[in-house]
Amino acid sequence: MLMSGSAGQPGHDSSINALIVISADSRWVATGSKDGTIIVWDPESGRISQEWLAHPGSSGVYSLAFSVDNRYLVSASGCCSGTVEVWDLHHNASKAEALVDQYGKLDWRSGRCVCSANKQTLIAAETEGSHWHIWDGFTFQRLRLDNKWEGKLEALSSDGRWIVTSDPPGDSSQYLLWSVAGGQLYSKQLRGHKSSVHAVAFNPRSTRVVTGHSDCTIRICEVETGTELLLMQEEKGMWIQAVAYSPDGNLLLSRSTPFQEDDHNLDTVKIWDAHSGTLLARLDSLDDRAILSACFSPCGRYVASASRTGQALVWRARDGLCIAKVSAPGSEGSGRVEKVTVTPDGKWLCCGVDDGRVFFRRMCDLVPEEKEFA
pLDDT tens per residue, range 296-319 = 999 999 999 987 777 899 999 989
Give the per-residue pLDDT at 356: 86
Domain CATH code at residue 234:
2.130.10.10
- Counting Cβ atoms within 10 Å, is residue 21 exposed (0-12), middle (13-18) or buried (19+)? buried
Give the per-residue pLDDT at 225: 82
Check residues 247 and 286 and name the one with the higher pLDDT: 247
Give the per-residue pLDDT at 4: 44
Rounded to a whole number of angstroms, the distance between the first and last alpha carbons of the chain is 20
Distance CA 295, CA 301 (A): 11
Give the per-residue pLDDT at 29: 93
pLDDT average, residue stretch 34-57: 89
pLDDT at residue 363 greater than cutoff 90? yes
Q: How confident is the model at residue 270 (pLDDT cuts 50, 70, 90)?
A: very high
Mean pLDDT of the chain: 78
Secondary element (H or E) of residue 268: strand 268-273
Q: How confident is the model at residue 92 (pLDDT cuts 50, 70, 90)?
A: confident
DSSP 3-state of 365: helix
Considering the domain boundaries, does residue 2 fall inside one? no
Considering the domain boundaries, does residue 342 fall inside one? no
- What are the DSSP E strand ranges found in 43-93? 47-53, 61-66, 72-77, 84-88
Poorest-pLDDT segment among 2-11, 199-208, 358-367 = 2-11
Poorest-pLDDT segment among 5-14, 42-51, 199-208, 335-344 = 5-14
Q: How confident is the model at residue 265 (pLDDT cuts 50, 70, 90)?
A: low
Nearest Cα residue to 100 out of 127, 73, 81, 137: 127
Contact between residue 41 and residue 47 where contact means Cβ atoms under 8 Å apart = yes
Considering the domain boundaries, does residue 318 fall inside one? no
pLDDT at residue 192 greater than cutoff 80? no
Give the per-residue pLDDT at 156: 82
Considering the domain boundaries, does residue 296 fall inside one? yes
Considering the domain boundaries, does residue 7 fall inside one? no
DSSP 3-state of 134: strand
Poorest-pLDDT segment among 5-9, 121-125, 299-303, 323-327 = 5-9
Selection from 136-145, 242-251, 316-325, 351-360 with the highest mean pLDDT: 242-251
Name the region of 235 (left: φ>0; alpha: ψ -120 to 50; beta: rest): beta
Count how many residues are written for the chain.
Answer: 374
Domains in the chain: how many in total?
1
Considering the domain boundaries, does residue 192 fall inside one? yes
pLDDT at residue 6 greater than cutoff 60? no
H helix runs in 179-263, sequence order = none
Bridge partners of 120, per DSSP, are none
Considering the domain boundaries, does residue 143 fall inside one? yes
Residue 30, CA distances (Å) to 20, 78, 138 in order: 6, 18, 20
- Counting Cβ atoms within 10 Å, is residue 144 exposed (0-12), middle (13-18) or buried (19+)? exposed
pLDDT average, residue stretch 147-155: 67
Poorest-pLDDT segment among 123-127, 322-326, 354-358 = 123-127
Considering the domain boundaries, does residue 18 fall inside one? no
Give the per-residue pLDDT at 124: 72
Residue 143 DSSP class: P
Give the per-residue pLDDT at 2: 45
Residue 48, CA distances (Å) to 3, 124, 232, 327 in order: 10, 28, 43, 21
Could you tell me what percent of the chain has a pLDDT over 90?
26
pLDDT average, residue stretch 40-60: 86
What is the domain range of residue 152? 50-309
pLDDT average, residue stretch 41-51: 91
Give the per-residue pLDDT at 111: 45
- What are the DSSP E strand ranges found in 157-204? 162-166, 175-181, 184-189, 197-202
Q: How confident is the model at residue 84 (pLDDT cuts 50, 70, 90)?
A: confident
